[in-house]
Structure 1
Amino acid sequence: MIRNYLPDDYAKVMEVFRLNIPQFFASEEEADLTDYLKEHGDSYYVIEVKGEIIGAGGHHYPLPGVGRLSWDFFRPEVQGKGWGRKLINHSLDEIRSKKHVKRLEVWTSQQSYQFYAKFGFNVHRVEKDFWAKGFDLYHMEMIADKIQRPTYF
């Protein structure tokens, strides 16, 4: 079940985040996630199965007309089982419902950019060691009316 993030979820979300270090995130990014949840928790979601948070992710609006997917991650044992697709589609539906949004972005890394490409995102620029040493920024974009909804990968 996808539901809105609540401040009481913080410890469990951080636990799932830490399970993705160092494969998908650098430990230095933990403070950034904490700040993000304080500022954008109202458009952040968790996926709960049998009372356990197995993943989280969300979106925000950094500039007028721009929606950005942010901080999507899952417990390693559920990765590749379709939960990411469901969560991204949920966020994309929310963003798309905002008529003012004309462009979508995701800022990700070399470990995950191919996942977002399946939704129609294209690499706009790459910046080496942006997140931390060995974690490059892949800034990806898409025009809002070009959102793709893959049903399988």
Structure 2
Amino acid sequence: MDIIRYTSKYQRQCLLLFDSNLGTYFVECERAKFQTFLENYASTYPYFVIEQHGVVVACGGYEQEEEHVTFSWGMVDRSLHGRGIGKKLVEFRLNEILQEYPDRQIKIDTSQLTQGFYEKMGFVAYEVEKNGYAAGLDKVFMRYTNARG
């Protein structure tokens, strides 16, 4: 597996990753937001893809905000969940952030469906917005506990 900086040539494959998670982990209205992100911001933000045998199997990045750094648009091909790819993507982003912004807190908003995964990676929930993404899909705000901030 190779982690590569995102360029527009990966847009179609990243949208396919999104589509593979649609209905459970993402809702339809988020697809246009993700596409806009890919078209207008992903090439300038720290955003990455994981490629395996020439195929993009995951993507994700982060963005610096005023007082913290936030994970953005992280996803793994649904058929490959549970194989350590997401863990590799999270570890890579954490290492990048901790090197570049060692004094910044690291945050993510995710759903209750992936909350447990991020807890295993060292994140703790500090707020939950019931149905924050859609009916039955809560928005869980989490922070990384090993980061200074």
TM-score computed with the length of structure 1 as normaliser: 0.87
Question: Which amino acid in the other structure matches residue 31 of structure 1?
Answer: A
Cross-structure match for 1:12: 13
Q: 1:144: how far off?
A: 5.3
Q: How far apart in 2 are the matches of 1:110 and 1:30?
A: 19
Structure 1 segments unaligned to the other structure (5+ residues): 147-153
Q: How far apart in 1 are the matches of 2:134 and 2:22?
A: 12
Task: Select between 37-46 and 4-13 the one with higher mean Cα deviation.
Answer: 37-46
Q: 1:46: how far off?
A: 0.6
Per-residue CA distance 1:129-149 (angstroms, 9 max, x = gap): 211222210000125536xxx
Question: Which amino acid in the other structure matches residue 16 of structure 1?
Answer: L
Conservation of the 8 A alpha-carbon contact between 2:106 and 2:147: no
Q: 1:60 aligns with which of 59, 63, 70?
A: 63
Aligned residues: 145
How does 1:3-152 map onto structure 2 within 5 Å? 3-37=4-38, 38-41=40-43, 42-61=45-64, 63-99=65-101, 101-143=103-145, 145=147
Conservation of the 8 A alpha-carbon contact between 1:96 and 1:144: no
Q: Name the Cα RMSD after superposition.
A: 1.6
Runs of 4+ in structure 1 deviating by more than 6 angstroms, as ranges, are: none
Structure 2 segments unaligned to the other structure (5+ residues): none
Q: 1:113: how far off?
A: 0.8
